Amino acid sequence: MHRSKEETYHLPVLWQEICETLITRPDGVYYDGTLGGGGHAEALLKRLSPRARYIGVDRDEEALTAARERLAAYANFEAHKATFEQVRDVLGRAGVDHLDGVLLDLGVSSHQIDVDARGFTFRENAPLDMRMDQHSGITAAELLNTLTEKELADIFYRYGEERRSRCIARGVVAFRAVQPLRNSSDLLPIIDRCVNARFRTKSYARIFQALRIAVNDELNILEQALNSLTEVLRPGARMAVITYHSLEDRIVKHFFQTMENPCTCPPEFPVCMCGKQPVLKRMRPYFRQPASPEIEANVRARSAKLRLAEKL
């Protein structure tokens, strides 16, 4: 069944687990770096004190508009257009120094996937856009039509973990020698010629993921954000990150592990000599996943992992 624009924003993943674990101070300051349509924000605001502040950030104008409409009744909510690693700038605008909780939901929203014009889907004739911020940056089509064969193959392999990356990149370059790629119907047949028919859908997903990550610089922004956000957390404050694929989950997992045990001394040293102290403590279990009922209600939640850490 097709969902309305409003309904497609109403599927916050793991919202109960977020509400149970993220709030440490009901009247504190909370930062939602991936606001989307405000689903997690609404669930948290219902449980926070009216004296709390909830700062929502997104670079998607459509998401900001939807969230502001949805959360208009909450005087302690504010929304800012930014990428989530720009936390210092956002907090400066908000007049805030430190945070009591941070939420990052790294998935593409259902709305972004369902609206063909956004270009996140590989449905027929969808434009190759994929920008989170439709008012700036280069599109997926521009990448496909300008990068070298090697650069494209590197993107497909690094960000999509696609084994047939070289063949697909070669096909893209051959296609654009005749005419530029404009939409999904230009790209999908190129992928078809390079992969076994049984695995086409998985390869579609890998290539579109790779292009989306490249267009939006997602992994670099994530790495910068984790450091910047940790710096502004108060002691006892928590960071919750929901990931959806192995590349971003690996970054979050490694960051939390390093912040919990930052010692760089060789293992043969009897005592630590580097002096680096733990900054975060990982919360157990080390990751949480949606239960079966949530996955049945929202199939896009099936790959989600929630990792949590507390500032020491």
Range from 62-66, 107-111, 238-242, 294-298 carrying the lowest mean pLDDT:
107-111
Residue 201, number of CB atoms within 10 A of its CB: 12
Please write the tens of the pLDDT for every residue from 282-292. Answer: 999 999 999 99
- The average pLDDT across 14-43 equals 97
Please write the tens of the pLDDT for every residue from 109-133. Answer: 666 665 655 756 778 889 999 998 8
Specify the pTM.
0.92
Please write the tens of the pLDDT for every residue from 199-208. Answer: 999 999 999 9
Domain residue ranges in the chain:
7-111+218-311, 117-216
Name 238's bridge partners: 101, 310
Instruction: With cut-offs at 50, 70 and 90, classify the pLDDT of residue 2.
Output: very low
Residue 200 one-letter amino acid: R
Confidence (pLDDT) at 4: 44
Cα distance between residue 122 and residue 80, in whole Å: 30
Distinct helix (H) and strand (E) counts, the chain: 13, 7
Which one, of 61, 60, 66, 5, lies nearest residue 216 by Cα? 60
Q: Tokens standing for 23?
A: 């709030």
Q: Which CATH class is domain 7-111+218-311?
A: alpha beta
Which one, of 63, 48, 154, lies nearest residue 107 by Cα? 63
The superfamily CATH assigns to domain 117-216 is Putative methyltransferase TM0872, insert domain (1.10.150.170)
Helices 218-232 and 87-94 cross at an angle (nearest 10°) of 50
Say whether pLDDT at 168 is over 90. yes
What is the average pLDDT score of the chain? 92
Name 309's bridge partners: 239, 282
Report the phi/psi class of residue 125: left, alpha or beta, with left for phi > 0 and alpha for psi in -120 to 50.
left
Say whether pLDDT at 248 is over 60. yes
